[in-house]
Amino acid sequence: MKRATVLVARAVFPEVLARLSQHFEVEANPDDTIFGKPALAARLAGKAGAFTTGSERIDAEVLDANPQLRVVANMAVGYNNFDVAACTARGVLATNTPDVLTETTADFGFALMMAAARRMAESEHFLRRGEWTKWSYDMFTGSDVHGATLGILGMGRIGQALARRGALGFGMKVIYHNRSRLAPEQEAPIGARYVDKAALLREADHLVLVLPYSAASHHAIGAAELALMKPTATLTNVARGGIVDDAALAVALRERRIAAAALDVFEGEPKVHPDLLTVPNIVLTPHIASATVATRRRMADLAADNLITALTGGRPPTPINPEVLREGRLAEKTPRA
């Protein structure tokens, strides 16, 4: 039987490429070029599967140009780059990489929150400019993290991991808002308290966003929401760009309506709203919350597991639209020997 051909859309660990090559004919992208939609559609010609990242938009147009495509495996927990409904309608399995990056992302989210609270970026820039000439009692005084109120918007795996760090490590009071409330046995160990969104915004000393991006969560934090927050509060986003109205956030920071912010994700990234680059009270990082060698390798391995399993007749570990498997529609796309 002729081996299936897959596209690995971005550069990835050589060991992962070698593993995929044991099963498939692999078209790799060692130059790490980001393919626009026409180029991506052309590259997918004749491919049974694709190993993707958040950079590749898989929508109806791309799928219709490639009716032979069977599996798209995202090396990410988020999948707003996939039109899942379009994939499902065409019998294309979509997969992602949940769980393997939970603790690493929570570590980074907590670090960003602390950096914002303690004004680390501001003070480093001050030092690098050579402006530090003496100690003063109020030099870069920020806000405490220990004993403060941690507000979490989105209480999935990463939100719960952040809550554990705050409650058990720093004695923080944890409040949260989510589409659904946690079970009592999940709330009790960390003393988490479910509140409505308005109460979350009003009460949190440090608000962290970890909700998935969707049309419903677009600009979930905008000017009106920022106006409800304490002027001493901080905002941290390790979820997805577009959840925060970056332009409104820049205004709130410049006018000190909130004390500080920390962002790892941006609307329209890798572009960053220029106003965010002009305010001092912000920490900015380039979407690296999961960026440890061990975690990125686990993500790549899980994406490869999904691709290999789906295209060799097994059940992938983490499908996004498992109804494609239940209905046997993936098998219908399998070429006969």
Q: Determine the number of helices (DSSP H) and then strands (DSSP E) in the chain.
A: 15, 12
**Largest Cα–Cα distance of the chain, in whole Å?**
77
Of the residues 157, 193, 202, 287, only one is catalytic, namely 287
Residue 164's domain comprises: 102-284
pTM recorded for the entire structure = 0.91
pLDDT of residue 242: 96
Does 258 lie in the same domain as 111? yes
Q: Based on the fold, state whether residues 197 and 236 are members of the same structural domain.
A: yes
Shared domain check, 229 and 213: yes
Instruction: Write down the catalytic residue from 10, 43, 240, 296.
Output: 240
Task: Answer yes or no: 240 catalytic.
Answer: yes
Using the Cα atoms of residue 76, residue 289, residue 227 and residue 196 in order, give the sign of their dihedral: positive
CATH no. for residue 301?
3.40.50.720
Domain total of the chain:
2
Domain end point (choices 267, 284, 301): 284
Same domain, 215 and 178: yes
| Dist. CA 92–CA 1, nearest whole Å | 22
Q: Select which of 57, 103, 269, 297 is catalytic.
A: 269
* Per-residue confidence in pLDDT tens, the chain, 337 aa: 689 999 999 999 999 999 999 999 999 999 999 999 999 999 999 999 999 998 999 999 999 999 999 999 999 998 999 999 999 999 999 999 999 999 999 999 999 999 999 999 999 999 999 999 999 999 999 999 999 999 999 999 999 999 999 999 999 999 999 999 999 999 999 999 999 999 999 999 999 999 999 899 999 999 999 999 999 999 999 999 999 999 999 999 999 999 999 999 999 999 999 999 999 999 999 999 999 999 999 999 999 999 999 999 999 999 999 999 987 767 566 543 3
12 and 86 in a single domain? The answer is yes
67 in the same domain as 136: no
Shared domain for 214 and 318, answered yes or no, is no
- 287 counts as catalytic: yes
In a domain, 337, yes or no: no
| 3 tagged catalytic | no
User: Do 327 and 276 sit in the same domain of this protein?
Assistant: no
Residue 327's pLDDT is 74
145 and 45 assigned to the same domain:
no
pLDDT value at residue 326: 85
- Res 333: pLDDT: 62
Do 175 and 318 share a structural domain?
A: no
